[in-house]
Structure 1
Amino acid sequence: MNQNTISSPRPVTITADLKLRPIAGRIGAEVQEIALTPDLSPATIQALRDALTHHKVLFFRDQHHVDAATQTAFGRKWGEPVGHPTAPGQTGDHLLELSAEHGGKANVWHTDMTFLESYPAVSILRAVNVPPCGGDTVWANTAAAYEHLPDHLKQLADGLWAVHSNDYDYAVNQTRPDQAMDAYHATFASSVFEAEQPLVRLHPISGEKSLILGGFFKKFSNLSLSDSRHLFEIFQTHITRLENTVRWQWKKGDVAIWDNQSTQHYALDDYGNYPRVMQRLTLRGESSLSTDGRYSRQLLPAK
């Protein structure tokens, strides 16, 4: 855990030559003319890190050479892979397979694993099989959301803390009975994890303030469930304003890398019974640092 308090945002300079095509005004860029391999130079890896800090999500088309082993080896050049504590579909190399056929749908706005004190810093997602239409993923910039809050809401947000849990109300997003999804969630929440996170986090690289909310939110600390839900809707609505989002239409072989410390994402469940298979690798993060210098903490399981 990095105990060095970040006092103010630091500008990020992309030093190496990358061909970047911004996708949306506040988030997302496609990196062109590059093949993701573990043989990329340290300078290129650093340039990609800097680009990610700035754009929040990077997209790579036509990475057909990337298989599970290459994805993992590339991820290790970036950081330390970490697994999910309960989700089914994991392999020994920390890859998590998200398959619609087996209930692995992420059709709720969320940041990966915020029910862990030190949730992942970066996620790397590869399209293994995609439907002929539908199945897009949308990301939201939670730093831009904070930046554009009214000043009074910023002041309120700075002092709020919340409990996040993996035992969330997934049924809210179920539009039809789905046995596979029920079974997936039963395994997902077989062991309950809860963490207390600040609503406003200081980014460990840029120092930007961003909002930690999403589907794993349970309640605000020291507030009732009713008051928590009302406040949640206020801040979550600001996060998912269309101005803060980017939408990616997947093709087989695409790879997306996102900064999990300053984004939320949502996988659209609009592709019927067509197959949709993705493989995700997550990289270790650090405890969330609040604006007053305190750090997130694990509530369950108790240490």
Structure 2
Amino acid sequence: MSVTTSTDIRRVAGSLGAEITGIRLGPDLPDADVADIRAAILEHKLVVFRGQDHLDDRAHAGFVRRLGPLTTAHPTITGGQEEAAILPVDSEHGNKANSWHTDVTFVDRPPAFTTLRAVVLPPFGGDTLFADTARAYAKLPAGLRSLADGLWAEHSNDYDYATTHATEGPTGATAAYHQEFTATVYRTHHPVVRVHPETGERVLQLGQFVSRILGVNGQDSRDLLALYQRHITRQENIVRWRWSPGDFAVWDNRATQHYAVDDYDDLPRKMHRVTVAGDVPVSVDGRRSIAVEGDAGAYAGA
């Protein structure tokens, strides 16, 4: 990587993840630097920059715009920030992403890149795990790859709450967040394996928003989901990032899943998220994802 003579890039795990040092992020970075950062994201799938305390919401969004057009904060949740693209991920409002997922797969154009800036961190815990869904696919036995290539799944923003909280139901801040999150229901049919539009890699597209595998019965659907999800989250496909003040992370949302570990009791943890608009996933045989319910055009900038 040749961002500047003082810049260094260090891999942090065998499968994915790199730390880039010696650069100050902002909307005015030279084009060559932005291109090199973008290439690093595609290569390592997750890159983290430390010491970016100078960034505020405007500078955060301004830098991310250099990577591509932005989505709105969320299809259903109002960011409530001066910068409209900012989504606060705030534990005090019941917003905890403590399940394996790829961001916003319940719409037909999930984000291409996700960025997260540490705003308030607990004194312990609150790490984020990232999984490489391209490596997970590549390491599958040939028969399981062939089977996955032909499978499709339904993703919905209502499904994960309906199952995770089926016994007791969400309460308090979590209930309010759930109500806003599902204010408009989205359902989309995606291929279980999509072809990455920039790298050409085949990646598994699953996670918490999947309600079922199409064309198979309930138990078989659950078994297939568990099988492929287990391969995605094998230890050799994962990196764990321990956040520090000033950390700024960017990951390829098309080739990863992530999980924010809820192990910091009731202490505050607040991150600000900005996402880059993506395109409609395409299966290995060239078919495009289909929006079944809900129009996410305004969110995705269509």
TM over 0.5: yes
Residue aligning to 2:110: 119
Q: Distance in 1 between matches of 2:164 and 2:246?
A: 28
CA displacement, residues 99-122 of structure 1 (integer Å, 9 cap, x when unaligned):
100011100100000011111000
Q: How does 1:282-297 map to 2 (within 5 A)?
A: 282-297=275-290
Q: Tell whether 2:168 aligns with 1:168.
A: no
Residue aligning to 1:85: 75
Q: Distance in 1 between matches of 2:126 and 2:163?
A: 19
Q: Is the 8 A contact 1:162 1:219 kept in 2?
A: yes
Q: Distance in 1 between matches of 2:216 and 2:210?
A: 13
Q: Distance in 2 between matches of 1:190 and 1:82?
A: 18
Q: Tell whether 2:192 aligns with 1:199.
A: yes
Quote how far apart the aligned CAs of 1:187 are.
Answer: 1.1
Residue aligning to 2:62: 73
Q: Is the 8 A contact 1:88 1:188 kept in 2?
A: no
Q: Distance in 2 between matches of 1:111 and 1:284?
A: 14
Q: Distance in 2 between matches of 1:219 and 1:90?
A: 33
Q: Is the 8 A contact 2:64 2:274 kept in 1?
A: yes
Q: Distance in 1 between matches of 2:221 and 2:205?
A: 14
Quote how far apart the aligned CAs of 1:171 are.
Answer: 6.4
Q: Is the 8 A contact 1:124 1:257 kept in 2?
A: yes
Q: Distance in 2 between matches of 1:258 and 1:148?
A: 21
Q: Distance in 1 between matches of 2:176 and 2:86?
A: 20
* Candidates 234, 259, 273, aligned match of 1:280: 273
CA displacement, residues 183-229 of structure 1 (integer Å, 9 cap, x when unaligned):
11111011100111000111111100000000000111112222111
Which structure 1 residue ranges, 5 or more long, are not aligned? 1-13
**Pair 269,88 (structure 1): closer, same or farther in 2 beyond 3 Å:** farther
Residue aligning to 2:135: 144
Paired residue secondary structure (2:249): strand
Q: Tell whether 2:30 aligns with 1:45.
A: no
Aligned length: 290
Residue aligning to 1:9: none
**Pair 52,161 (structure 1): closer, same or farther in 2 beyond 3 Å:** same
Residue aligning to 1:30: 19
**Pair 178,253 (structure 1): closer, same or farther in 2 beyond 3 Å:** farther
Residue aligning to 2:175: 182
177-186 or 67-76, which deviates more: 177-186
CA displacement, residues 157-206 of structure 1 (integer Å, 9 cap, x when unaligned):
00001110000233655699741112111110111001110001111111
Q: Is the 8 A contact 2:79 2:85 kept in 1?
A: no
Task: Percent identity, please.
Answer: 47
Quote how far apart the aligned CAs of 1:87 are.
Answer: 2.1
Q: Distance in 1 between matches of 2:187 and 2:136?
A: 25
Letter paired with 1:129 = V
Residue aligning to 1:106: 97
Quote how far apart the aligned CAs of 1:89 are.
Answer: 3.5
Q: Distance in 2 between matches of 1:187 and 1:164?
A: 18
CA displacement, residues 58-111 of structure 1 (integer Å, 9 cap, x when unaligned):
011110001101001101111111021112444352110011000111001000
Paired residue secondary structure (1:231): helix
Query: Structure 1 segments of 4 or more deviating over 4 A?
Result: 14-18, 171-178
Residue aligning to 2:246: 253
Backbone CA RMSD of aligned residues: 1.7
Letter paired with 1:98 = V
Paired residue secondary structure (2:272): strand
Q: Distance in 2 between matches of 1:99 and 1:178?
A: 16
**Pair 56,197 (structure 1): closer, same or farther in 2 beyond 3 Å:** same
Letter paired with 2:193 = V
Paired residue secondary structure (2:264): coil
* Candidates 45, 52, 70, aligned match of 1:56: 45
34-43 or 16-25, which deviates more: 16-25
